[in-house]
Amino acid sequence: MIKSPDGGTTWTGVDDSPITLPLAYDKKHAPPHGKKMPYLGSLTVMSDGRVAALTNDHHALADGHYFSVHDGKAWQATALGQFMPEDWCLMQSCCTCDATGRVLIAGSAVPRAIAEDGSTWSHPHNEIFLLTSTDAGRTFTAQQVSDTDPTTANWLANISRPGPNHDLRTPLLMWTHGVKGDGCAPPDETQVWAAWVGG
- Residue 96 or 180, more confident: 96
Q: What is the mean pLDDT of residues 143-164?
A: 93
Q: Are strands 75-79 and 11-13 parallel, antiparallel or unpaired?
A: unpaired
Q: Examine the pLDDT at 185 and tell me if it is beyond 70.
A: no
Q: For 82-127, how does the pLDDT look when each residue is reduced to its tens digit (9 = 90+)?
A: 999 999 999 889 999 999 999 999 999 999 998 888 888 889 999 9
Q: What is the mean pLDDT of the chain?
A: 90
Q: Is the pLDDT confidence value at 186 over 80?
A: no
Domain parsing of the chain, residue ranges: 1-30, 31-196
Please give the model's pTM, rounded to 2 decimal places.
0.91
pLDDT digits (tens, 9 = 90+) for 44-68: 999 899 999 999 987 776 678 999 9
Domain 31-196 has CATH 2.120.10.10: yes
Has residue 73 got a pLDDT over 70?
Answer: yes
